Amino acid sequence: MTLTAETDAASPVASPTRPPHPLVGANVSTLVRLVAENGWPSRRFMPDLALAGLSALVRAPASALEAGYMALGREAGGERPPVFIVGHWRSGTTHLFNLLSGGGDVAYATPVSVGLPWDFVLLGRALAPLLNRAIPAGRGIDAMAVTPESPQEDELALASMTRPSYYHGIYFPRHFARHMAAGLFFDGCDARARARWQKALHGFTEKIARRHPGRQILVKNPAHSAKIDAIREIWPEARFIHVVRDPHAVLVSTRRMFADLLDMLALQDHDPAEVERAIVAAYPRMMDKLAADAESLPEECFAEVRFEDLEQDPLAEVARLAPFIDPHRPEDILRGAERHMAQVAGYEKRTRAIDPEVAATVGAHWAAQLERWNYPRRDKIASNEGF
């Protein structure tokens, strides 16, 4: 199947357009290494790289000042181990993230922090009114609104801070499969590269903790699904919530997501067949690695939720998971979820049938995961995309 950007008449979001490129938040070192490893952007995208380079140079003094500030150490109270929401893309991780982050003593990444990972504690705070006006109104890949306080996954930040990241395959898709394998599974990465990634993850998370001392940090990132062991090397007591969804719906929505992201963010032309192969290959590896890592976790450090249950009765699932986030005031988490549900009451999900080609692909490549999560093989089902 060829990946193409899809539109849906039921959705208020039009075809994706190119926003300011996320690499405008990168530092000079990351930009230089990315170009050295991946080649130059296509000519029509050179202005994106030029703007990113100019931004990195202008921000360099502020980045150095922030690094010194962070080196001074955090306020008393220490860093609480984060809670990570994991699961394959389009499994409902964002929906759960929004539900769990709206109440209680919770902190998380926001648009400014993922956009300016080197500078958001000091420069980002100073320029907040200006930066908040520049935030896109929607996510681009679906109809969910974005505000200055909208919870964001940390992968965009990490992609501007270090290597590897699967986002580098979206930015430089001539090497899409290589970046997917490295960014998800550390394929081709030595111990130094793994340690560099861990340092970036810890440093970015520590900055959020500095901005919100004493709060429980909540992280959502599908790319972390196969890295639980690497994360526990940083935080041995970290906790994880896995969202699982019918793989048929996941495949349809993931194809569309990557098509939209490439349309918005690619700096090079790409081969749709390579993207398709990488998507199909990644799912079973991610899920198998997550399942294996989960077996080593203490019971109190791992929870699982099915998207279908979350969609059917979100508040019941939040009530079950709330003590996992805030054992002292779980009712605050539930009240935040109620507020979020009221805010998105008019949201229209994209609904489309699963065609025989999707069912055949899932049956041929993801059958073990269907069995593991107890989803039936089928020729045609309804796929409720969204959140």
What is the chain's pLDDT, residue by residue, as a tens digit (387 residues)? Answer: 334 333 333 333 333 456 789 999 999 999 999 999 999 999 999 999 999 999 999 999 999 999 999 988 654 445 789 999 999 999 999 999 999 998 878 999 999 999 999 999 998 887 766 665 665 655 444 555 667 678 999 999 999 999 999 999 999 999 999 999 999 999 999 999 999 999 999 999 999 999 898 899 999 999 999 999 999 999 999 999 999 999 999 999 999 999 999 999 999 999 999 999 999 999 999 999 999 999 999 999 999 999 999 999 999 999 999 999 988 889 999 999 999 898 887 666 665 677 899 999 999 999 999 999 999 987 545 444 443
Strand, helix or coil for residue 154: coil
| Strand segments (E) across the chain | 83-86, 106-107, 216-220, 239-244, 302-306, 350-353, 382-385
Separation between Cα atoms, residue 293 and residue 186, nearest integer Å: 15
Does pTM surpass 0.85?
Answer: yes
Q: b/e for 305-320, b at 16 or more Cβ within 10 A?
A: bbbeebbeebeebbee
Q: In this structure, are residues 92 and 219 in contact, taking their beta carbons and an 8 Å threshold?
A: no
First to last CA, the chain: 24
Q: In this structure, are residues 313 and 325 in contact, taking their beta carbons and an 8 Å threshold?
A: no
Q: For CA atoms 45, 50, 53, 55, give the dihedral sign.
A: negative
Separation between Cα atoms, residue 277 and residue 116, nearest integer Å: 32
202: its two tokens = 């810890």
